[in-house]
Amino acid sequence: MSVIGRGNVCKFCEDKSISIDYKNVKIIKKFVNEQGKIIPGRVTGVCAKCQRQLTKAIKRARNIALMSYTGDSFSA
């Protein structure tokens, strides 16, 4: 008999104190690879709802130049 585990638990759903915000570049940077691509939720373990919020925050941060579109990082 096997025990069914929880699998990947969303970091943001588990800890409600962490908010997904475009101004919080330290957290958002963890979900972007060296080439500047957004890492998919199945790799990071983020739920679909939080992945959509995360993608929107990354795109907003890129648009107002808090993050780079490419792998080069700004020293902000």
CATH architecture designation of domain 11-63: Irregular (4.10)
Q: What is the pTM of this model?
A: 0.82
C-alpha distances out from residue 72 to 23, 35, 37, 57, 76, Å: 18, 8, 12, 18, 12
Q: Helical H runs in the chain?
A: 11-14, 25-28, 41-44, 48-63
State in Å, rounded, how far the first CA of the chain is from the last one.
53
Cα gap 76→43, rounded to integer Å: 27
pLDDT of residue 71: 75
pLDDT 10s digits, 26-46: 999 999 999 999 999 999 999
